[in-house]
Amino acid sequence: MSVKGDPEKAIEELKNEFLGEFQHMQRHVHKLMDDLTAISGYAQIVQFKLERPAVELEKIIHTVGTAMLVLRSWIARLKELERRCA
Domains of the chain, by residue range, sit at 28-85
What pLDDT, on the 0 to 100 scale, is given for residue 2? 46
Q: What is the pLDDT of residues 36-73, one digit of tens each?
A: 898 888 888 887 776 666 777 888 888 899 888 888 88
Is residue 34 exposed (0-12), middle (13-18) or buried (19+ Cβ within 10 Å)?
exposed
Q: Is 59 exposed, middle or buried (0-12, 13-18, 19+ CB in 10 A)?
A: exposed
* Rg of the chain, C-alpha, whole Å: 20
Q: What's the predicted TM-score (pTM) here?
A: 0.60
Largest CA distance in the chain: 72
The beta strands (E) that lie in the chain are given as none
Given a contact cutoff of 8 angstroms between Cβ atoms, the answer to whether 69 and 76 are in contact is no
Q: Is residue 77 within 8 Å of 63, Cβ to Cβ?
A: no
Mean pLDDT of 22-43: 87
